[in-house]
């Protein structure tokens, strides 16, 4: 196991050395994400001082109001991911269609990303983040994005909070790196993250309780009877990060208003499910593993439940009765 304090670039290179057939392409791809994250983190820190808080005056493909930092973060991600030359195609939650950068025409990978998850919380200084999912190029068309989550070769997120952390997995466990602003480097702070088998926290927006199906209401009531504590931030990166570290359960279920759920499969659900399962937890739509879903479109939505094995097994027991 790498030592606490190892910088991210050294860690990535050391991981690459474990695979003699590696070409360095994934290393370059991850370093491009790191560079973009540092720049976004800088903008987030200065948001209240630089007149970049608030709404941009437009809506994205999801019909959601775009925040100024959404636009900035999306442009930064596109700039760095395109320039590295490793990505044949980019799909952003903020854009209708995928982008095929000229620099990536020989790239091996495709990447789907949410440039700034939780941006509606920007104005109140709540933790927000960037989420990414990397898969292999197959046919060289937009259809390449419609792969099951279990095919991901890397996934992760960056959380911009009291500190900036980059958490990622390439399929061999999950590691977290904290940005040290004094040296401008991400340093290993959370090696080999593992979810507890059972947690003490459940995280859902309970204001929707009456809109949920009866099995889900019974499940949440069961957790309350066991003495669980409710914690819900409303920024997926922040809620999932807490779940990854402390265990328990995070959910954004379908309800009478959002019959297919609200979170996006490619940009949010699939990469977070990959991380949770790599850390020893489970993911589910309430019926099946999120990683087994074959997407039908770029902006598909799904119900999402992520967490420790105990809470997830209990959930599926109630949901499948």
* Tens digit of each residue's pLDDT (9 = 90 or more) over 96-106: 999 999 999 99
- What letter does residue 314 receive in the DSSP assignment? H
* Tens digit of each residue's pLDDT (9 = 90 or more) over 169-201: 999 999 999 999 999 999 999 999 999 999 999
Least confident window among 13-17, 29-33, 120-124, 146-150: 120-124
* Tens digit of each residue's pLDDT (9 = 90 or more) over 237-257: 999 999 999 999 999 999 988
Same fold, 8-190 and 201-319: no
Contact in structure between 313 and 282 (CB atoms under 8 Å): yes
* Residue 59 pLDDT: 65
| CATH architecture assignment, domain 8-190 | 2-Layer Sandwich (3.30)
- CATH class, range 201-319: alpha beta
DSSP β-ladder status, 175-180 and 164-169: antiparallel
Distance CA 210, CA 213 (A): 8
Distance CA 244, CA 250 (A): 10
Contact in structure between 180 and 187 (CB atoms under 8 Å): yes
Task: Tell me: pLDDT of 52 over 60.
Answer: no
Distance CA 286, CA 312 (A): 9
Termini Cα distance of the chain: 42
Distance CA 99, CA 87 (A): 10
| Strand partners for 263 | 302
Domain residue ranges of the chain, discontinuous segments joined by +: 8-190, 201-319
């Amino acid at each position: 196991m790498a030592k606490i304090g190892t910088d991210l670039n050294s860690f990535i290179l050391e991981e690459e050395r474990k695979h003699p057939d590696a070409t360095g392409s994934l290393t370059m791809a991850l370093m491009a994400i790191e560079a973009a994250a540092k720049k976004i983190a800088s903008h987030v820190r200065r948001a209240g001082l630089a007149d970049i808080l608030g709404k941009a005056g437009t809506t994205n493909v999801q019909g959601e109001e775009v925040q100024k930092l959404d636009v900035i973060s999306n442009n930064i991600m596109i700039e760095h991911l395109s320039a590295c030359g490793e990505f044949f195609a980019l799909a952003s939650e903020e854009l209708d269609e995928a982008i095929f950068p000229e620099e990536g025409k020989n790239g091996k990978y495709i990447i789907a990303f949410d440039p700034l998850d939780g941006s509606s919380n920007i104005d109140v200084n709540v933790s927000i983040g960037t989420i990414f999912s990397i898969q292999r190029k197959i046919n060289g068309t937009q259809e390449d994005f419609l792969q099951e989550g279990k095919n991901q070769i890397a996934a992760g997120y960056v959380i911009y909070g009291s500190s900036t952390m980059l958490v990622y997995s390439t399929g061999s466990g999950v590691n977290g790196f904290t940005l040290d602003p004094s040296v401008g480097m991400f340093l290993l702070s959370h090696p080999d993250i593992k979810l507890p088998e059972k947690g003490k926290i459940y995280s859902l927006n309970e204001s929707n309780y009456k809109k949920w199906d009866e099995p889900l209401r019974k499940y949440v009531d069961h957790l309350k009877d066991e003495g669980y504590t409710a914690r819900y931030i409303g920024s997926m990166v922040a809620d999932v990060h807490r779940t990854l570290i402390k265990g328990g359960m995070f959910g954004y279920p379908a309800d009478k208003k959002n019959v297919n759920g609200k979170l996006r499969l490619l940009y949010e659900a699939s990469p977070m499910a990959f991380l949770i399962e790599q850390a020893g937890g489970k993911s589910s739509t309430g019926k099946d593993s999120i990683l087994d879903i074959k997407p039908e479109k770029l902006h598909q939505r799904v119900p999402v439940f992520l967490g420790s094995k105990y809470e997830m097994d209990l959930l599926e027991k109630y949901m499948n009765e």
